[in-house]
């Protein structure tokens, strides 16, 4: 029973991180129909920027995260302007290759700047707390609370503000959005900004319980893809739900099946889903 609660809480924590990463990915996919393979690199950079601000300039954890959000968000915007916008009308294979090019560059850059070694991020919230008879570190609680706060803010932004509603409008119908006078370029940039910011938050929150290294984005991004296929490409609630489903599946799978193969669970799940539903779980096409 104790192990189960522990694992459920673990699943919740992993799920929170996955959801945040998947949210950024799904927003970009919804707007531009680009599977942004470089999103994992944004996640990785998010952790490094936070780490560097803390180590180099002795910034407070929260300030470091804020800087990271801005830096990575702007990097996302830059990517949209320099790469994806020029490729708007190119065959779909081109976006993917371009995204892979960015991914390779950013990873090599990180390795050049910060080296290939694994690093740890210290946190001011290392203390252990006791909740309902389970011992937890404060950082893990913070990840969960932080993720939920961010999700609520994102929801309010998308539903209650004009800017947010333009994103939704464009995701639903790009041409239509253009026709009613929405500046699609601006919305695309805004979406990349949010997407990058979400990646930075996810990475900065989870870095203290994981390690920071140039390849840290690989698995996370692959799993985020699995999640948005699970939850429907472009769907916001789907990304959140999918993230938590995968988080729980993994933490339970690691305990009760095999820790060695816990990373395979996501991919096997994906292979099974796409085998039966080649267009994802919630494809809208009328076939």
Binding positions for other proteins, rule: CB under 8 A:
29, 33, 35, 83, 86-87, 90-94, 96-98, 100-109, 111-112, 116, 218, 222, 225-226, 229, 233, 260-261, 263-264, 266-268, 270-271, 274-275, 278-280, 284, 286-287
Beta carbons of 110 and 216 less than 8 angstroms apart: no
Q: Given the complex with other proteins, which of 150 and 269 has the nearer CB atom?
A: 269
Q: Given the complex with other proteins, which of 157 and 267 has the nearer CB atom?
A: 267
- Cβ 64 to other proteins, closest distance in Å? 26
- Cβ 104 to other proteins, closest distance in Å? 4
- Cβ 98 to other proteins, closest distance in Å? 5
* Token pair in block for residue 90: 């190119």
* DSSP of 22-47: HHHHHHHHHHH----TTHHHHHHHHH
List residues bridging with 81 in a β-sheet.
none
Q: Given the complex with other proteins, which of 205 and 229 has the nearer CB atom?
A: 229
Q: Given the complex with other proteins, which of 76 and 146 has the nearer CB atom?
A: 76
- Cβ 53 to other proteins, closest distance in Å? 23
Euclidean distance between CA atoms 229 and 248, whole angstroms: 17
* DSSP of 63-122: HHHHHHHHHHHHHHHHHIIIIITTTTTS-HHHHHHHHHHHHHHHHHHHHHHH-SS-B---
């Amino acid at each position: 029973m104790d192990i189960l609660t522990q694992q459920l809480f673990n699943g919740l924590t992993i799920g929170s991180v996955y959801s945040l990463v998947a949210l950024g990915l799904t927003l970009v996919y919804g707007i531009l129909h680009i599977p942004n393979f470089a999103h994992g690199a944004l996640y990785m950079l998010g952790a490094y920027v936070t780490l560097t601000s803390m180590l180099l300039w002795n910034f407070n954890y929260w300030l470091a995260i804020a800087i990271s959000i801005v830096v990575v968000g702007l990097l996302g915007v830059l990517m949209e302007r320099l790469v994806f916008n020029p490729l708007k009308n190119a065959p779909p294979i081109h976006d993917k290759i371009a995204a892979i090019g960015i991914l390779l560059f950013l990873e090599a850059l990180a390795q050049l700047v910060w080296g290939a070694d694994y690093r740890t991020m210290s946190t001011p919230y290392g203390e252990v707390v006791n909740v309902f008879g389970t011992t937890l570190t404060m950082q893990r609680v913070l990840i969960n609370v932080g993720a939920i706060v961010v999700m609520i803010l994102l929801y309010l932004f998308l539903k209650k503000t004009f800017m947010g509603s333009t994103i939704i409008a464009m995701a639903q119908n790009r041409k239509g959005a253009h026709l009613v006078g929405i500046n699609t370029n601006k919305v695309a940039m805004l979406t990349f900004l949010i997407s990058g910011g979400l990646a930075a938050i996810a990475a900065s929150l989870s870095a203290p319980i994981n390690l920071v290294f140039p390849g840290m984005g690989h698995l996370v991004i692959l799993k985020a893809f699995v999640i948005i296929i699970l939850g429907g490409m472009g769907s916001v609630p789907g990304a959140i739900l999918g993230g938590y489903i995968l988080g729980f599946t993994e933490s339970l799978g690691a305990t009760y099946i095999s820790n060695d193969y816990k990373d395979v669970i996501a991919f096997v799940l994906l292979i099974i889903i796409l085998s039966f539903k080649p267009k994802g779980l919630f494809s809208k096409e009328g076939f």
